[in-house]
Amino acid sequence: MLKVGLVGYGFMGHMHADCYLASGEAKVAAVADIQSSRRDEAAAAFGCEVFDSLESLLDSVDVDIVDICLPTGLHESHAVLALERGKHTICEKPMALTVEACDRVIEAAGKSSAKAMVAHVIRFWPEYQVVKRIVDSGEIGAVQWVKAKRLSPLPMWSYEGWMIDPVRSGGAIFDMAIHDVDFIAHLIGPPGKITSIGGPMASGGDSVLSLGSDHANGAKSCVEVSFALPPGFPFTMGLLVVGERGTIRFDSSQTPALVVYPTSGGSYVPDVPKPGVGLATKSAGNIADLGGYLNEIKYFLDCIKSDKTPDLVTLNDAREAVRTCLASKQSLASGETIVL
């Protein structure tokens, strides 16, 4: 049984903790959080030791894995510390807020014997995995256009509102669009150019539309993201993949959510295998379904047990997603198309 030191026991920390429990292959042995109420909650839930910092956790408990679920601006320092201590490290996305910070994490990983992965969960999300398999099979031919969306009310559940603070979170581009930026790169390669419009909204969040071009196969992409919708608006994620011989549509607000439309006519609903693990124990946040998160956690645990470097999402993939998001922010600020 692998022992996990979990850093940050907020919304995402709860998700990851529930996944370790559901996996049957790891246990939360220790939790670090600056809030005493969170520490008390974790101790009651898992019977684990609790600390107010990662450093004190590592000095006191022999864990195999450090799982980082902290505000984005803290990812680099904690990942580097964990890797320097020789601990397998999984860090919530984004890896960091700058390419230079990503490079420092990659350097630390290169010097460590431990495994390291950034938790780009959409690569593990059941519907998106089916989309990837269909595209890779050649069923819809060469991809010509990809449009992704991720729409959310203002995320007021985060500690001290860090998610809506662009300095700490990077705003909607870094916290939400990065999911789609990364998956599109997974599907058709990263864009060579990017153009973005949008910006802050009256609600306090931001909305951005980013157009990508010069993907490796010549395809175009569009990512629509908003952190500025009213409280009653349902969190929605979607994907439209247009190929030469068919189109795939995924929309979490529709039933069925995933449909394939061949150009020869008709449509069909592909089978989507999902882990039957239910919902997270903590409901605050935009998604409670553990399925994709459990796939992600189990993949990382399997890599550790088999002594395999994670390659479904690499550290360089995570760095590329940050680089693309920075280009989107640069385009937003300058009004110009940015060449990556």
pLDDT in tens, 47-81: 999 999 999 999 999 999 999 999 999 999 999 99
**3-class DSSP state for residue 68?**
strand
What kind of architecture, by CATH, is found in domain 122-288+307-339? 2-Layer Sandwich (3.30)
Q: Which pLDDT score is estimated for 281?
A: 52
**86 φ/ψ sector (left φ>0, alpha ψ -120 to 50, else beta):** left
Q: How confident is the model at residue 166 (pLDDT cuts 50, 70, 90)?
A: confident
Under 8 Å between Cβ of 176 and 152: yes
Q: Is the peptide bond before 275 cis (omega within 30 degrees of 0)?
A: no
Q: Which pLDDT score is estimated for 283?
A: 45
Q: Which pLDDT score is estimated for 205?
A: 87
Under 8 Å between Cβ of 49 and 30: yes
Provide the pairing of β-strand 2-7 with 26-32.
Answer: parallel
Note the maximum CA span of the chain: 63
Query: Percentage of residues in the chain with pLDDT exceeding 70?
Result: 96
Q: How confident is the model at residue 277 (pLDDT cuts 50, 70, 90)?
A: low
| CA atoms of 206 and 323, how far apart (whole Å) | 20
| Closest C-alpha among 325, 324, 317, 323 to residue 118 | 317
Q: How confident is the model at residue 164 (pLDDT cuts 50, 70, 90)?
A: confident
Q: How confident is the model at residue 291 (pLDDT cuts 50, 70, 90)?
A: confident
Instruction: Say yes or no to pLDDT of 280 above 50.
Output: no
**Adjacent-strand bridge partners of 268:** 260
Q: Residue 169 carries which side chain, given as an amino acid letter? A: S
Mean pLDDT of 184-207: 93
Q: Which pLDDT score is estimated for 288?
A: 47
**8 φ/ψ sector (left φ>0, alpha ψ -120 to 50, else beta):** left
Q: Which pLDDT score is estimated for 173?
A: 95
Question: CA angle at residue 143 from 206 to 242, to 5 degrees?
Answer: 65
| CA atoms of 149 and 224, how far apart (whole Å) | 5
Mean pLDDT of 154-167: 79
Tens digit of pLDDT for each residue in 307-338?
999 999 999 999 999 999 999 999 999 999 99
* Domain at 2-119, CATH homologous superfamily: NAD(P)-binding Rossmann-like Domain (3.40.50.720)
In sequence order, which ranges of 160-251 are alpha helices (DSSP H)? Answer: 166-169, 171-172, 178-188
Domain ranges for the chain, please list them: 2-119, 122-288+307-339
Which residues, other chains included, contact 238 with Cβ-Cβ below 8 Å and sequence gap of 6+? 148, 149, 150, 249, 250, 251, 252, 253
The secondary structure of the chain in percent helix, strand, coil, rounded to multiples of 5, reads 40, 25, 35
Mean pLDDT of 207-236: 94
Q: Which pLDDT score is estimated for 70?
A: 96
Q: Is the peptide bond before 155 cis (omega within 30 degrees of 0)?
A: no
CA 2 to chain centre: 23
Q: Which pLDDT score is estimated for 286?
A: 43
Mean pLDDT of 205-210: 94
Residue labelled with tokens 């969040």: 205
